[in-house]
Structure 1
């Protein structure tokens, strides 16, 4: 784009400027909406014909959310600050993620600014980590609290009505190792039917280490693709990666009613959390396993010349996921990829019924033989 609005957006991103004047704010909001390319790629506008996330609460475990941003007006419920840091920095990263999940835009008809994948969902903001430039990171007391904050945040979210938990976290503070408390909290959430989504990590061009909470069993781990739907080079390549979503050149809400353009698997995870919210709203009471299955089966092949199972070879699609979630369970089971059936799950391949039928015929034949002999 070459419009003035586009240039204003880039200036804001580069310099962190605030635009209090209404005219500038409108131009900025227009530019932000024009650059939301991931929505079309993921079939989101078509998905809105079926669901917009009504009534679903998505807990955003992050740096906190700026409830004063115009695109999030009325969408956010503030939860606890589990870091013990106080209001040292506005939650810019958390605000960004919340807007991608449930942004509502602003202006007449909500035509300006960022709109999220599930614009009628509710965000429950729980602060579990600090901004990268937050001076509180050097406080030993805060460091201790932050290390256990994710586990406490997951449990708090579950106990306060969250149906989806979005965690664009990882890459520091022990997240390369995980912890027993976090693992237990993840299992607790899954047992309560709560969907957990996490970013796979941005270590793909470096050490490419497993990153938690994405690597815990049961968590939907999300990698990133670029605008051509090819693998983003920074995105971690691990066998726990479930699916991918757009993660480069992503426009989102920023602090001070502004916008930012950034790259990362954080954005990709937020998008998929939004899709989970759409499914939950469309199909109340749907189980965690079925939400995950619908997202995976509704995804589309990424634009790459080779299949990379360690990366996640498919891109999430909102409308297809909603349709997959509404299909009869037996159809979903039959459509499961072949490798998912390896390990003895006969029911998922259609082999189980054949075996039971054969056994029944054998029993009938034996009974008939005994009867004839008698």
Structure 2
């Protein structure tokens, strides 16, 4: 399973620190009825879409763990850019496992595009890889490294924009229950959007656990991607939130491994890379469309868009051919995000990402039970405290000498 990267941000007190890591890519378990290799392309109508566009002239920046440019799935179409972790471990056997897998999925959809690999997170096998809890426990031991890694994603976004990328793909996300909103990253994304760069990120892989809020997917203007099964339903791990825009295949994805071959993997990481490839097809054919228009095309041509938005799968499965055909009738739009009346968008940042702000969802029964127990214990504690307080006052009153009366 491809796990979304884990991130933990030390906000407010030390806003400069944001530790970021990436999950390992492993083969998916063999189901009773396995999907054929490459099913993901047919599910998104990519073969038909490639008759219209193959992503010519477009660079997709894959901000990840680095890439293996000599892999046959990437050879001649990928460039290794800056390592924002400032490491010298590119020759290690584990290097670029996650990033190489993502880059191959981008190129499977947009075979004439190019990939720019920018390292900003770590593979699980990296000796310096830490879980968010380990990052918290070791915080302060190496301030210079912590600051460098905390700024890596933001710097990579800006570098990708300045180096001419037209699509940014980020298969990474926070794993803490409160998410990791970092204002500098939101500003970097706003900068990319203002330059006409489409930004894509994964919704996260904890939908069957705590369903935490994941950044950068939750930043305004980012196209948030969920993962779907071969049956078109939400993959059980894909997170459920109102900012999920669409889904793409995220189970049994046939992607590159660092041993030189391919293997089946799963996760919203892969779904993100596939969506970034579709965005590259659109931008290549219609380079004057704004990022918001690309997002709307994906939404309005997705499989269930007529039913409206739902937080599990957004507007449904991406249809690359339909999106390209619909794009033909659009006039170029403004790349700048619209800003709400109060100067802030509906989703945690300086602009509105266009997704519904309020969507009715059933309460999670587990949270209701926990909240009920906690509330009951709290109320019981208050009652006990009140009883003890009143009993104490009565006891004190009994212990006082009787009041003197005027004679």
Aligned counterpart in structure 1 of residue 210 of structure 2, from 198, 207, 210: 207
- Cα separation, partners in 2 of 1:70 and 1:341, compared to 1, 3 Å: closer
1:259 and 2:262 correspond: yes
- Conservation of the 8 A alpha-carbon contact between 2:177 and 2:213: no
User: Which whole-Å CA distance do the structure 2 matches of 1:142 and 1:204 have between them?
Assistant: 31
Report what 1:300 is aligned to.
303
Asked if 1:283 is matched to 2:275, the reply is no
Contact 1:158–1:192, Cα closer than 8 Å, also in 2: yes
Give deviations 1:300-340, integer Å, cap 9, x for gaps. Answer: 129xx99733541411011011011112459xxxxxxxxx7
1: CA distance, partners of 2:55 / 2:355: 31
Gaps of 5+ in 1: 1-11, 16-32, 103-115, 331-339, 344-374
Match of residue 92, structure 1, among 97, 118, 121? 97
TM-aligned CA distance change 1:162 to 1:291, over 3 Å: same
1:38-49 equivalent positions in 2, closer than 5 A: 38-49=40-51
SS at match of 2:322: helix
1:260 offset after TM fit, Å? 2.2
Distance 2:82 2:26 in 1: 29
The separation in 2 between residues aligned to 1:201 and 1:341, in whole angstroms, is 17
- Deviation of 1:253 (Å): 0.3
Match of 2:116, SS?
strand
Q: Which residue of 2 aligns with 1:122?
A: 114
Aligned residue pairs, count:
291
RMSD: 2.8
Higher mean Cα deviation, 222-231 or 305-314? 305-314
> Closer, same or farther in 2 for the Cα pair 1:39/1:14, shift >3 Å?
closer
Contact kept, 8 Å, 1:80 with 1:127, in 2: the verdict is yes
Note if contact 1:13-1:259 (Cα within 8 Å) is conserved in structure 2. Answer: no
Q: Is the contact between residue 177 and residue 210 of structure 2 (CA under 8 Å) also seen in structure 1? A: no
Query: 2: CA distance between counterparts of 1:80 and 1:255?
Result: 20
Residue 98 of structure 1: how far off its partner (Å): 0.3
Q: Point out the structure with max Rg over C-alpha.
A: 2
2:93 matches 1:101 = no
| 8 A Cα contact 1:215 1:221, kept in partner | yes
Tell me: CA distance 1:207–1:160, structure 2 relative to 1, closer, same or farther (3 Å). Answer: same
CA distance in 1, matches of 2:310, 2:43: 20
Unaligned runs of 5+ in 2: 1-24, 29-34, 131-140, 333-353, 358-407
The match for 2:14 is: none
Check the 8 A contact 1:60/1:123 in 2, yes or no. yes
Q: TM-score of the superposition, structure 1-length normalised?
A: 0.72
Tell me, yes or no, if structure 1 residue 217 matches structure 2 residue 220.
yes
